[in-house]
A = this chain, B = another copy of it.
Amino acid sequence: MSSHFLHDLLNPKSIAFYGANNSYEKMGSMLFMRIITSGFEGNIYPIHLELDNVLGLKAYRKIADVPEVPDLVVLVIPSKVILQIFKECAEEGVKYLVIVSGGFREIVGERKNTLTEEIVEIADEYGIRFIGPNCLGVYNGWLDPDGQKSFNMMINDQIKRGKFSLVSHSGTVSSQLFRDPENTDLKLGKTLSIGNEANIDLVDFLEYFKDDNETEVIGLYIEEIKRAKKFIELAKEITPKKPIIAMYGGGSGAGNRAVRSHTGSMAGNTKLFDAMISETGIIQTHYVEEFLDIISILSKPNVVYPKGNRLGILTTFGGPGALIANNADRKGLAVPELSESLQQKFKKFLPPTANCSNPVDVTFDTNVLNFYIKYPKMLMKSGEIDAIIIIGVAGFFYDIQRFQQHEISNHIDFREDFAEQLNNLEKILITPTIKNSQQFSIPVIYINTQSFASTWSNKVREEGGIVFKFWDRPVKALAKICKYAEYRRTHS
């Protein structure tokens, strides 16, 4: 159990909430409803000047009326009353707050402003720590050991719990990346929108996550780094053990304008940021899909880090094989021609139309056992490659089920064990190769052109496999992972 103060902030047993009423259209109500419906079982005290009940819970006029000092107070109220309320909370002994309210420095346009300064002063005086202002709140999936309950102010869908934690200067990035089932592989642990960072900043979170055993992969969306030296120092300590993936919001003129108005940050140019980041081992990206792809791969429970950047491509599809090879080349991966002796080994099994040089294009060879198990293992044992992309046809077997619903099926000779085989296809084809992947420390990525939700893609994922629908994104993600893996090897 972490002894960091952020652990306490994220695991409150009682919460007071300012700014909810009984209307679903109000921001405060939305966050409040989320807390209640996500299974938080501690005491919740809505505070409201007029209402006696808020969304079914007894409401209090002020913090002094609440029957206990709540572990956490959430403020979703206009900035003009913030100072007074904050003082009242301080005087009652509240130690942790989340200030969702905006209207601080991001509106004045100054890095310091009076309101922020006054609140920070009170916080210092009373030993208070607070997240925000100008944020969306927090989600902690680790509220109970079983993962049935969470402290959730903002995540929309029920997402599986895992060890990926996210800290973000953007409420959207902290809360809106997890709405699509495609992103549930991430298995989220904690996500935090930290706004203007008047009191708690990125560095605090790095300190916390460094030794937090509920966090194995760290994601950051950054608009500004306040304590750069400390940030770099901590990042360097963390990245040899836990990957950090970062997106940066500054850069272009318009981007900097946006950032300034968003969190009041003074975003610099990307080159300066890149230079600062590059020595830390942080994986950097500009693209949210790449951000998610990398996190999704590195969040796998039995993640395998490649030992080099040589990619082996095993395919039944000639065109995509060529496109993957070109893309790998552009992104800095090698696609080495296989040795003559290894090519000869492949030639023993493959039809004359096949290509054995890498990409290994088996064309219409329908021996799926070879394709999914033997050939990957031959590549792994060879020592000639460090990662494998497999793009094949096993998913197509499920198409045949479609024909079974058609009149034509009366005339097809179905093997007696067809249905049974189909049921166990992933155990037959995927499980052995995933084991080999771990044994040889060579990551394997599958591509299935069927949808993410297709039977085959689901089955591969259930076995712990990594699956993409198309071939562009895994190559880009893999290139960055290889670079990070090298950093990790040389810095641990």
Interfacial residues, chain A to chain B (CB-CB below 8 A) = 22-25, 27, 29, 33, 36-37, 53-56, 102-103, 106-107, 134, 156, 168-173, 176-177, 179-182, 221, 223, 247, 249-259, 261-263, 267, 270, 286-290, 313, 317-323, 325-330, 335-337, 352-355, 357-359, 361, 363-364, 366, 396, 399-400, 402-403, 406-408, 410-414, 449-452, 454, 469-473
Contact = CB atoms under 8 A, between A and B. Distances in A.
A449 B170 CA distance: 14
- The 7 A-B residue pairs whose C-beta atoms are closest, nearest first, are A170-B319, A262-B318, A261-B355, A252-B329, A254-B335, A254-B325, A258-B322
B22 A413 contact: yes
A255 B22 contact: no
B168 A399 contact: no
A168 to B, nearest CB: 7
Contacts of A317: 170-172, 176
Contacts of A323: 247, 249, 255, 286, 288
Given A263-B318, A407-B56, A471 B288 contact: yes
A262 to B, nearest CB: 3
A177 B289 contact: no
Contact of A257 (B258, B287, B337): B337
Given A318-B172, A323-B286, A353 B107 contact: yes
B252 A22 contact: no
A290 B37 CA distance: 39
A357 to B, nearest CB: 5
Contacts of A451: 179-182
A257 B173 CA distance: 41
B176 A449 contact: yes
Contacts of A366: 25, 27
A380 to B, nearest CB: 19
A257 B258 CA distance: 46
Q: How many chain copies?
A: 2
Among A134, A267, A411, A473: residue with most chain B CB under 10 A:
A411
A22 to B, nearest CB: 5
Contacts of A469: 180
A55 B411 contact: yes
Contact of A319 (B221, B289, B352, B414): B221
Contacts of A180: 449-452, 469
A357 B472 contact: no
A258 B171 CA distance: 45
Contact of A179 (B171, B221, B253, B450): B450
A325 B251 CA distance: 9
A56 B408 contact: yes
Nearest to A411: B56
A207 B255 CA distance: 45
B412 A252 contact: no
A172 B288 contact: no
A358 to B, nearest CB: 6
A197 to B, nearest CB: 14
Nearest to A222: B319
A277 to B, nearest CB: 15
Contact of A318 (B56, B258, B449, B472): B258
Contacts of A23: 412-413
Given A254-B358, A329-B251, A320 B170 contact: yes
A36 B252 CA distance: 55
A251 B326 contact: yes
Contact of A364 (B102, B259, B364): B102
A250 B322 contact: yes
Contacts of A107: 352-353
Contacts of A103: 352-353
Contact of A355 (B56, B177, B257): B257
A169 B319 contact: yes
A254 B470 CA distance: 19
16 contacts: A22-B413, A53-B411, A55-B408, A107-B353, A168-B319, A171-B318, A247-B323, A251-B329, A252-B330, A254-B325, A254-B358, A255-B323, A261-B354, A262-B321, A262-B355, A289-B472
A322 B288 contact: no
A400 B171 contact: no
A413 B326 CA distance: 57
